């Protein structure tokens, strides 16, 4: 009898361990609630039949900045009502667990928000579920978030499960990922980048309409860059990337914060209503070195799904 009991206990522990896995594209591992499956459009898990999800976000920002906005007033400005806030410990880091509600499309959702991190980078885990399912999901989602482990040494999976693939260059390496966005910097250094240094962003996005006029759309997208001012010397042309029609632009501008002269590279590849955007910024002094590498990364872009 005792032997059988130990065998059953061992089986239960093995099953519990097998569900604990790294979330693709992140350095976070967690134990998802029963019935949740890996999400297809964001890093995390979901239960589509009830509209519940767990989303993992790794942010290149100090944890102090993230926590500063998680007051009752700060959350209210984003349409959330703070129900409770409590301290926690996650993967050895001091954490904050918040319980909030938010109404969207006539439905009230409950959310668990778990935040922790360092002076350079942060993690936000967001568990969302309709309030009407709270009795069955409130505790399992909370437990799942608190099971999280953060492996800062893990680089594997940083670009996994993205809808695109790009090749790093000898100097531009993947520094961070946020959902369907990759950021490449010199040597893959994380955190804020000065206006003189290179920063390349690659993102998969959705348009409200099928992109047929890539010239006009590309120039409009360029004009929406919040980091720059005084755009000039805009030059562009059509090309093909990964079998997709694309439009490539270069331009001169100034950094909004510092006024440093910078050079811009942009490529947009259209895939129906979906498009892939590659945008690079670098100081004029470093442009001869990094503009060709921006182009090399952009030209390596391929769809993965």
Query: Among 120, 161, 127, which Cα is nearest to 22's?
Result: 161
| DSSP label of 132 | G
| φ and ψ of 143, to 5 deg | -60, -40
Q: What is the pLDDT of residue 160?
A: 66
**pTM score > 0.75 for this model?**
no
Three-state DSSP at 25 gives: coil
Handedness of CA 166, 168, 172, 175 (dihedral sign): positive
Contact 136, 151 (CB under 8 A): no
Q: What is the pLDDT of residue 267?
A: 97
Q: Is 89 exposed, middle or buried (0-12, 13-18, 19+ CB in 10 A)?
A: exposed
Q: Which two tokens stand for residue 303?
A: 């769809």
C-alpha distances in Å from residue 13, one per residue of 6, 8, 9, 20, 39: 10, 9, 6, 11, 25
Q: What is the pLDDT of residue 293?
A: 97
Which architecture, in CATH terms, is 20-150?
3-Layer(aba) Sandwich (3.40)
Domain ranges of the chain: 20-150, 164-303
Give the residue ranges of the chain where pLDDT is below 50. Answer: 1-18, 156
Handedness of CA 200, 203, 208, 209 (dihedral sign): positive
Q: What is the pLDDT of residue 19?
A: 64
Q: What is the pLDDT of residue 188?
A: 86
Paired with 248 in beta bridges are: 237, 267
Three-state DSSP at 14 gives: helix
Query: Among 57, 273, 54, 62, which Cα is nearest to 179's?
Result: 57
Q: What is the Cα–Cα distance from 104 to 102, expressed in whole angstroms?
A: 7
Q: What is the pLDDT of residue 157?
A: 58
- The strand ranges marked E within the chain are 21-22, 28-30, 37-38, 44-47, 52-59, 80-90, 93-104, 107-117, 122-130, 149-150, 164-165, 172-178, 181-186, 199-206, 228-241, 244-255, 261-271, 274-283, 302-303
Do 20-150 and 164-303 show the same overall fold?
Answer: yes
Q: Is 3.40.1000.10 the CATH number for 164-303? A: yes
């Amino acid at each position: 009898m005792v032997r059988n009991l130990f065998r059953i206990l061992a089986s239960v522990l093995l099953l519990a361990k097998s569900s604990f896995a790294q979330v693709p594209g992140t350095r976070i591992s967690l134990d998802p609630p029963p019935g949740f499956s890996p999400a297809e459009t964001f890093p995390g898990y979901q239960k589509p039949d009830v509209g519940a999800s767990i989303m993992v976000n790794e942010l290149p920002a100090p944890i102090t900045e993230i926590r500063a906005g998680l007051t009752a007033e700060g959350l209210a400005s984003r349409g959330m009502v703070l129900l409770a806030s409590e301290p926690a410990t996650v993967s050895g880091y001091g954490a904050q667990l918040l319980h909030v509600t938010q109404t969207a499309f006539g439905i009230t959702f409950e959310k668990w928000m778990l935040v922790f991190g360092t002076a350079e980078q942060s993690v936000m885990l967001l568990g969302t579920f309709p309030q009407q399912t709270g009795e069955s999901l409130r505790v399992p989602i909370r437990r799942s978030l608190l099971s999280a482990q953060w492996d800062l040494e893990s680089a594997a999976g940083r670009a996994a499960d993205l809808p695109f693939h790009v090749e790093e260059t000898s100097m531009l390496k993947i520094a961070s990922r946020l959902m369907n966005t990759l950021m490449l910097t010199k040597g893959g250094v994380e955190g804020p980048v000065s206006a003189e240094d290179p920063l390349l962003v690659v993102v998969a996005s959705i348009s409200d309409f099928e992109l047929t006029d890539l010239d006009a759309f590309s120039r409009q997208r360029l004009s929406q860059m919040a980091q720059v001012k005084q755009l000039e010397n805009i030059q562009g042309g059509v090309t093909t990337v990964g079998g997709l029609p694309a439009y490539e632009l270069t331009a001169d501008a100034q950094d909004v914060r510092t006024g440093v002269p910078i050079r811009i590279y942009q490529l947009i590849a259209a895939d129906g209503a979906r498009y892939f955007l590659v945008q690079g910024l670098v100081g004029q002094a470093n442009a001869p070195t990094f503009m060709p590498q921006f182009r090399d990364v952009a030209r390596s872009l391929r769809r993965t799904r």
